[in-house]
Amino acid sequence: GQQVMQIPQYQHVQEGEDFTTYCNSSTTLSNIQWYKQRPGGHPVFLIQLVKSGEVKKQKRLTFQFGEAKKNSSLHITATQTTDVGTYFCAGPGAGGTSYGKLTFGQGTILTVHP
């Protein structure tokens, strides 16, 4: 079945440093979604990428979708303590009855030291 791999599993940075997490799917995706889960909270939708090579920005966050639509990345510039949490990518199934199934990567746990 479809697999979504995410690296690194953990990332510790000093406040002000940059951070990047990478997501790779075993299948071509129609879209990729990114979520953030704060400690003790539930995942919250951040953004969706649909087009091949698409780049979207949200303030200090930059999201990219690969040309082959099988990989994606999230880059945070100049991290702040408010960025702490787990970042997940997620992609839909390849087709049939699994199309609506959203598979999540294992997540990257970001710790920011002040």
Partner 1 sequence: GAGVSQSPSNKVTEKGKDVELRCDPISGHTALYWYRQSLGQGLEFLIYFQGNSAPDKSGLPSDRFSAERTGGSVSTLTIQRTQQEDSAVYLCASSLDSTGNSPLHFGNGTRLTVT
Instruction: Based on the shown chain and the rule CB under 8 A, indicate whether residue 48 belongs to the binding site for partner 1.
Output: yes
CA–CA separation, 46 vs 68, rounded Å? 22
| CB closer to partner 1, 67 vs 99 | 99
| Residue in 97, 110, 111, 112 binding partner 1, rule: CB under 8 A | 97
CB 35 within 8 A of CB 44: yes
User: Which residues neighbour 71 within 8 Å (Cβ) at sequence distance 6 or greater?
Assistant: 22, 23, 24, 25, 65
| Residue in 18, 45, 51, 57 binding partner 1, rule: CB under 8 A | 45
Residues that bind partner 1 (CB under 8 A): 1, 30-31, 33, 35, 41-45, 48, 50, 88, 90-93, 97-107, 109
